[in-house]
Structure 1
Amino acid sequence: MSATDAGEAVARAHREEWARVVAALARRFGDLDIAEEAAAEAFATAVERWPVDGVPPGPGAWLTTTAHRKAIDRVRRENRRGDKQEEAQLLYDDEPPAPPGAVEDERLRLIFTCCHPALAMETRVALTLRMVGGLTVSEIARAFLVQETAMGRRITRAKAKIKTARIPYRVPSAQDLPARVSGVLAVLYLVFNEGYLATGPGTGPVRHELTAEAIRLTRLVRALLPDDGEAAGLLALMLLVEARRDARVSPGGELVTLDEQDRGAWDTALIAEGHRLVRERLAAGAAPGRYQILAAINAVHTSARDVRDTDWWQVVALYDQLVRLDPSPVVALNRAIAVAELDGPEVALAAVDRLDDRLAGYHAYHATRADLLRRLGDGPRSRAAYDRAIELAGNTAEIAHLTRRRDRLGQDPPPQGG
């Protein structure tokens, strides 16, 4: 087997098997450092061995077995096996197996361990993105808009706290679930977003394995909490976004924006399921949370057979609800994009410019300004904004889209009206 083929096989196995390997080791040894490092050593061994020996028939099983041996070797090398076994006994889930039909998944256990309330919310999200999503520290840092070194320290401290506090590796009991689910949903949403708009080096513009895994785990959380509105809302949101996947990137690898997508390529089954979930939450009559409102916004978009049929008034009204729940600058930016369709780009640009001090390092802020300035016919300022957006963007398809838009400035007449 060529080194290239073997390298691609290792990369594919990392995408598909990382979470399983880490979760299996965490359950066995009760130590996230051992789990992560032994998994990394197993993949490094695969890089060396697979070009020589060929890819094994079961890459996941091979990696898990190799990682398990690496973990045992590490414990022996440290000459503290008794201490490690004591820690493992304290952290290991000793509950009897779940009865048939109960939700049981190693990766879900790992998520709940990483999302323990003893950890700060941002730390829970970052740790789970690393341990379950398999994202690199640099990818996670970009998602949080912080420096890579700061994110690395945050993850290291989180793993140490789990060990020190002897946080158990298990899905919490029924009475503890509601208090724990918000952190888990936040994690799954960010995992999905990294797959939907991938930023990691060497990845494609979309990481299907991450979006699929986020949806799968969100279904499990909803099965655990069938009456939780936000679990249903997040699942609906993911389904409605995932339904547009095949229309989002052109054959040439360029991002296709919502207004330009071939709506005939959308997955109607996913849209129908997402709409059903949104209707169920509306019928429940409870005040919607953040994910339910985002799902409703996407339901409006996916209800329109043509972009010209979009009910922008309803979209803005939903964003008004969301701003009251989440007055973040990113939500305000997205609201301004919808306002541009109702009140025109000049009104929207004024709202966007007020966010400059908080979103100066966010590529979507500059991309939005660039588009609004383009629509207003301000070519020089639009070009400068496109340049900054391209500099900050990490997704290859998005960079291609922004570059084309920038290079066509002055060639196309600005659009009329909103």
Structure 2
Amino acid sequence: MNDLASVGVPGRILREGPAVRAALRRAAPALAAYAAIRLLGLAVLALWSAADGKNWHTLLTARWDSLWYTRVAEQGYGYAVQLPNGDVHSNLAFFPLLPWLERGLSALSPLSPADAGMAVAWLASLGAAWALYATGERLHGPRAGIALAALWAALPVGIVQSMAYSESLFTALAAWGLYCVLTGRWVCAGVLASLAGLTRPVGAAVVAAVWITAVVTLRQERAGGVRLRTALRKHRGMPTGVLLAPLGWCGYFVWVGVRQGSATGYLDVQGGWGNGFDGGVAFGAFVADLLSGPGFAAGLGLVVGVGLLVWLYVRGVRRGQPLPLAVYGGTVLLLALTAKGYFGSKPRLMMPAYPLLLPLAAGLAHWRPAPRRLVIGLVAVGSAVYGAFWLNGSGPP
């Protein structure tokens, strides 16, 4: 096996540079396609922002959540804002890995923490594109890998991948972690899952993928008559990876709980932001209100969009999508759809669910080059225009 994960744990990666360079050469077309799509998005954003009297750099680094990450990097935790209605917005809602990296990079370079956050996002997005290529290549061949990276770049809210937000960093860690699970690199998978858990709350989805895959793998071995001790020797590093995987997510959750003096401290912090999980009740009510009023068209489009996402997930599972990808993608989708809060952020919350794109990438891989490139190009243009419109308007928070 000649891909990145085949070189083993980080120490072995450093000793096996030729294997890494070979993997990078194979991924180069995917990285070039990804970079071209994102550069197109940035160019359209810059032109649109200039025409609208705004600064594209400010939109990417100094609005919404990026301001909160920067404040954590500069001042640490403890900042909160009380709204007129009594709600409290605390920066404890933001997981620490991105602000840690912002602080470290700004200390080692001339970059401000905000610009460091954007630099981390840009580099991490390329790392994510590489992981997506490796995944698509392993499952469906090189053309599917390129298509998967390109489709992820061309998501309608793909501009977030270029912002000083944590989505790109999280997706890179999650995608490489799941790739390590696919290739049996359990210790690496556990380390990356733990880092993903320090990046976003949805890091729990990576932990679930590692744990469930480990349990099912051992059960299959046992069903085949293999003793547990033998199975664990065969899947070397599995217990360590399973133990490492939840440390980041659980560690931050526990730290916030201790700081807040409550076992539900982090959930209370999220509640102050109006976030939480209610099984999709609030989201269903939001859609129902749209369908019953002047926003009927928007509500209908939302229903169609959710239906498409569910269809893509079911399609992937029926096509034999590997268990870690199915668990991870399904968990990200479920958490996004059942969360309450600001509903305009749901597309951003679902952006790390890249396994949903695998059926589309596999299908495009069978097309001839000209029509495949035309479709991806049209989608990329649409993404660039929508991203510029979105970011110059309501945007994420």
| Structure having the higher Rg | 1
Q: TM-score, normalised by structure 2?
A: 0.31
Q: TM-score, normalised by structure 1?
A: 0.30
